[in-house]
């Protein structure tokens, strides 16, 4: 029997699929099971919920322990430039809502930077009691299809389309090719300071930080799909040379590319990857 379950499911709604990449459900009932791992930066942000657990954070790590007196621990994790370590002690019951780039902004009235002043943001209560009610219903059913339906219904009621078109276009450019921050600002006919202000206001990161994560994740996806030689992988993903490729991966992950890809584990059916440090 597996020590834990990990299931990823996409929204059923075509509207929500533009904003929410997927939901995931991760649980273990084992009382003597602990896992430690490294999880890697992403250009996506997420809301994480634990039932009957307590989370604690240090600068680059997190720990989850059982706490039967805690109903829900709700945390927002945004865009961060470096890897973090995590430890989870079972039993646990975890849910994640993983947003597309700029996805969460379509459910907010205020700019993200007004809501999130620290990352990760613990006790994330932006959606209030409505969200807690949905969580109770989601946790009270074993049917994954129903869980998705409940979340879809909740988020459909919260949609408020994001209107900062300059940021939307800037992010699109980062995904369609290798553009420098200067080239993007020129294409949008705004100066670099304005571009930086817009990214910080709505994504809590700089244009360069976001662009670097797009490049990093593209390289991971290319490797998983085609398993090219690492020299080819660097070239295919617009790294200046092999030295630039190695330096970037070491900075983001703490590992050189060979060791990173050799130890990478894939969870579920989406682009969730981590390196397991310890499992018992």
**Residue 93 resides in a domain:** yes
Is the domain of 71 the same as that of 184? Answer: no
Task: Please state at what angle helix 181-188 crosses helix 192-203, rounded to 10 degrees.
Answer: 100
C-alpha distances out from residue 203 to 74, 104, 156, Å = 19, 10, 22
Angle (CA) 134-113-133 rounded to 5° is 10
Distance between first and last Cα of the chain: 14
Residue 234 in contact with residue 146, Cβ under 8 Å? no
Q: In degrees to the nearest 10, what's the CA dihedral of 109, 40, 252, 229?
A: -130
* Same domain flag for 190 and 108: no
- Mean pLDDT over all residues of the chain? 92
Q: What is the CATH number of the domain that holds 187?
A: 1.10.10.60
Residues 140, 187 share a domain: no
Residues 195 and 233 occupy one common structural domain: yes
Residues 155, 170 share a domain: no
Calpha distance 260→245 (Å, rounded):
12
Whether residue 202 is found in the same domain as residue 138: no
Q: Which residue carries 């009270």 as its tokens?
A: 140
Helix (H) or strand (E) holding 167, with range, is helix 165-176
130 with 239, same domain: the answer is no
Q: Structure tokens of 240? A: 């200046």
Residue 2: per-residue pLDDT? 75
- Which helix (H) or strand (E) covers residue 85, if one does? strand 84-89
In a domain, 199, yes or no: yes
Largest Cα span, the chain: 58
The structure tokens listed for 266 are 């894939």
Whether residue 262 is contained in a domain is answered as no
If asked whether residues 179 and 214 sit together in one domain, one would say: yes
Q: Are 153 and 174 in the same domain? A: no
- Do residue 27 and residue 116 come from a single domain? yes
Question: Of 120, 152, 115, whose CA–CA distance to 137 is shortest?
Answer: 152
In a domain, 129, yes or no: yes
Please report, in tens digits, the pLDDT of each residue of the chain (280 residues total).
578 999 999 999 999 999 999 999 999 999 889 989 888 889 999 999 999 999 999 888 999 999 999 999 999 999 888 899 999 999 999 999 999 999 999 999 999 999 999 889 999 999 999 999 999 999 999 999 999 999 999 999 999 999 999 999 999 999 987 788 999 999 999 999 999 999 999 999 999 999 999 999 999 989 888 889 998 998 888 888 899 999 999 999 888 999 988 888 777 667 776 676 755 4
Tell me if 261 is assigned to some domain: no
**Domain that includes residue 141, residue range:** 6-161+269-279
Q: Are residues 87 and 203 in the same domain?
A: no
Q: Is residue 264 part of a domain?
A: no
Structural domains of the chain, count: 2
169 lies in a domain? yes
In a domain, 274, yes or no: yes
65-89 burial, b for 16+ CB within 10 Å, e for fewer? bbeeeeebbbbbbbbbeebbbbbbb
Residues 110 and 183 in one domain: no
């Amino acid at each position: 029997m597996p020590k834990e379950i990990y299931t990823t499911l996409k929204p059923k709604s075509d509207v929500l699929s533009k904003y929410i990449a997927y939901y995931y459900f991760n649980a273990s009932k084992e009382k003597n099971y602990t896992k430690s791992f490294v999880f890697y930066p992403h250009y996506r942000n997420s809301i994480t919920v634990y039932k009957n657990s307590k989370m604690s954070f240090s600068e680059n790590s997190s720990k989850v322990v059982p706490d039967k007196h805690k109903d829900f621990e709700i945390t927002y994790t945004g865009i961060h430039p470096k890897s973090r370590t995590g430890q989870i002690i079972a039993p646990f019951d975890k849910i994640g809502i993983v947003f597309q780039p700029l996805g969460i902004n379509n459910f907010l009235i205020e700019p993200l930077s007004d809501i999130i002043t620290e990352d990760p943001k613990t006790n994330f209560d932006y959606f209030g009691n409505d969200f807690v009610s949905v969580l109770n219903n989601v946790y009270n059913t074993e049917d994954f299809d129903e869980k998705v339906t409940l979340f879809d219904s909740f988020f459909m009621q919260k949609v408020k389309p994001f209107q900062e078109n300059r940021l939307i276009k800037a992010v699109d450019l980062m995904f369609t090719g290798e553009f420098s921050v200067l080239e993007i600002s020129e294409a949008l006919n705004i100066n670099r300071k304005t571009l930086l202000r817009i990214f910080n206001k709505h994504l809590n990161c700089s244009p360069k930080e976001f662009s670097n994560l797009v490049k990093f994740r593209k390289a991971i996806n290319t490797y998983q799909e085609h398993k090219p030689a690492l020299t080819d992988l660097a070239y295919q993903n617009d790294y200046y040379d092999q030295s630039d490729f190695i330096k970037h991966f070491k900075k983001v992950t703490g590992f050189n590319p060979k060791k990173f890809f050799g130890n990478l584990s894939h969870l579920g059916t989406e682009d969730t990857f981590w390196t397991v440090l310890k499992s018992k």
